[in-house]
Amino acid sequence: MDLLHKFQEQWQEEFCQLTPGNTRLLVAVSGGVDSVVLVDLLQRAGFDFVMAHVNFQLRGSESERDEQFVRSLADKYGNELLVKKFDTKLYAEEHKLSIQEAARVLRYDWFSEILAGWQLAGNHRQTVQYFIVTAHHADDNIETVLMHFFRGTGIQGMAGIQPLLKERQLIRPLLGFRKNELQLYAAARDLSFVEDSSNASDKYTRNYFRNQLLPQIKEVYPQVEENLLHNIERFREIEEIYRQSVDQQVNRLLEVKGTEWHVPVMKWKQVKTLSTITWELISRFGFHAAQTAEVIKLLDGENGGYQLSLSYRIIRNRQWMIISPNHTATAQHIQIEEGQAEVVFENGKLLITTNSETFTHSLTHSFTHSPSEASLDASEIRFPLLLRKWKAGDYFYPLGMQKKKKLGKFLIDLKLSRTEKEQVWVLESDKRILWVLGYRIDNRFRITEKTKQVLQVNYRK
């Protein structure tokens, strides 16, 4: 069967919801045979796409040659081309990454920026979907699975490269094709391409597997590549079953509480496959595999013990494990000017309106003091207002009380957890707290029969 027909059939099988009529693609083009074939297939299949080339400036004049070749390729097909140069070595040194990892981060971050720009610009119909397309093929998948296996991996790693990563808007439509198929197609179509001389060097792990390890294994098992591809397919199916089971168990454990997730300690401890489920649970929040054992220790640890990832932390709080965003201890201060209608902050936003009508005593009951809404006597308020996190030493007069109360004691009485207390914000005027957001207004600013103007503040998490 002609490769184009096979390509279209596999596209329909893997990406049936993405059609030439509803999809705009950003195609990564290095200039090698894989990406050149991909461009030709997409063009013949009628897709709307933009080509993107990254010059990593790692191979001197050869990098410049590749860029010029891709420019001529874009002219040949009449496609828009985007080109970006990076000082990859400098980036790798500054971020303490390998050259390969630095190149990957730079490339995909740039691609994601382009897609975000498309979506923000809104130059296309809302029904259009945007995706990054790369030319990874079956041989790449074989090498990836072998590297995963020797480095250490789970079922997902053995399933290899995924054809579709929807959350990253990334598709790889050539995974069903061997390298030699792409080379034969290029020859039949008389397609020109460039060769990357670094592919012959074994200093990169992937090249070592490709040039040294696989040929030696083939001497013992001649069908090793075909066998690995069959294994990948089986592991993909197994991974789907595994993922369904894991998701069910993890979702039964997690209880959403505002911006936090709570798990009962005893419920977590009773999980049969404790290490596996713990890893699957904490990996969603940026924790790495080596922390799995430490998190399990927390289940029998002291109250207040915790583990941190870059963006989250897991805290033992009495009979609960609490997963919360990992904020810094420095309180943020946001100044609100008179007439400002909306304020956005890390916990949500405030909507502020002023009603200038004259109120009678009979109307005061219409102003509620719900957790998400505060009605305040505007005559007692001085601008600018200050929105900030609460701090030790804060006090206010809770609604209905004539005496002041330490805010810390007020929050303890509410039985808030440590992380919940860290998420409490206050709105103040002239160093007096107007409202503890989501909990109680100050009695001094309540609506009375003498109120003539109301400041209405809505809190949307």
Q: What is the pLDDT of residues 151-183, one digit of tens each?
A: 888 788 899 999 999 888 999 999 999 999 999
Residue 125 predicted with pLDDT over 60:
no
Q: What is the pLDDT of residue 362?
A: 42
| Residue pair 348/460 in contact by the 8 Å Cβ criterion | yes
What is the rounded average pLDDT for all residues in the chain? 89
Residue 264 predicted with pLDDT over 60:
yes
pLDDT bucket at 421, cuts 50 / 70 / 90: confident
3-state secondary structure string, the chain? Answer: CCHHHHHHHHHHHHCCCCCCCCEEEEEECCCCHHHHHHHHHHHHHCCEEEEEEEECCCCCHHHHHHHHHHHHHHHHHCCCEEEEECCHHHHHHHCCCCHHHHHHHHHHHHHHHHHHHHHHHCCCCCCCEEEEECCCCHHHHHHHHHHHHHHCCCHHHHCCCCCEEHHHCEECCCCCCCHHHHHHHHHHCCCCCCCCHHHHCCCCHHHHHHHHHHHHHHHHCCCHHHHHHHHHHHHHHHHHHHHHHHHHHHHHHCEEECCEEEEEHHHHHCCCCHHHHHHHHHHCCCCCHHHHHHHHHHCCCCCCCEEECCCEEEEEECCEEEEEECCCCCCCEEEECCCCCEEEECCEEEEEEEECCCCCHHHHHHCCCCCCEEEEEHHHCCCCEEEEECCCCCEECECCCCCCEEHHHHHHHCCCCHHHHHCCEEEEECCEEEEECCCEEEHHHCCCCCCCCEEEEEEEC
Q: What is the pLDDT of residue 115?
A: 92
Residue 258 predicted with pLDDT over 70:
yes
Q: Which pair of tokens denotes residue 111? A: 């691609």
Residue 75 predicted with pLDDT over 80:
yes
Residue 361 predicted with pLDDT over 60:
no
Q: Which pair of tokens denotes residue 134? A: 């790369």
- Per-residue pLDDT, averaged over 325-350, amounts to 74
- C-alpha 346/C-alpha 333 separation (Å) is 11
Q: Give the pLDDT confidence of 293-335 residue by residue, as tens digits.
A: 999 999 999 888 899 887 889 999 889 999 988 754 344 678 8
Number of residues that this document lists for the chain: 461
Q: What is the pLDDT of residue 259?
A: 79
Q: What is the pLDDT of residue 253?
A: 95
Q: What percent of the chain has pLDDT over 70?
A: 94
- Per-residue pLDDT, averaged over 64-89, amounts to 96
Q: What is the pLDDT of residue 327?
A: 58
Q: What is the pLDDT of residue 184?
A: 96
Q: What is the pLDDT of residue 126?
A: 61
Q: What is the pLDDT of residue 363?
A: 45
Q: What percent of the chain has pLDDT over 90?
A: 67
The Cα-based distances of 19 to 24, 46, 114 in angstroms read: 9, 9, 20
- Per-residue pLDDT, averaged over 367-382, amounts to 82
Could you tell me the pTM of the whole model?
Answer: 0.63
Residue 204 predicted with pLDDT over 60:
yes
| Residue pair 292/308 in contact by the 8 Å Cβ criterion | no
Q: Which domains does the chain have, with CATH numbers?
A: 3-231 (3.40.50.620), 256-325 (3.30.465), 333-460 (3.50.40.10)
- Per-residue pLDDT, averaged over 358-375, amounts to 60
The Cα-based distances of 218 to 151, 209, 364, 375 in angstroms read: 21, 12, 85, 76
Residue 367 predicted with pLDDT over 60:
no
Q: What is the pLDDT of residue 358?
A: 45
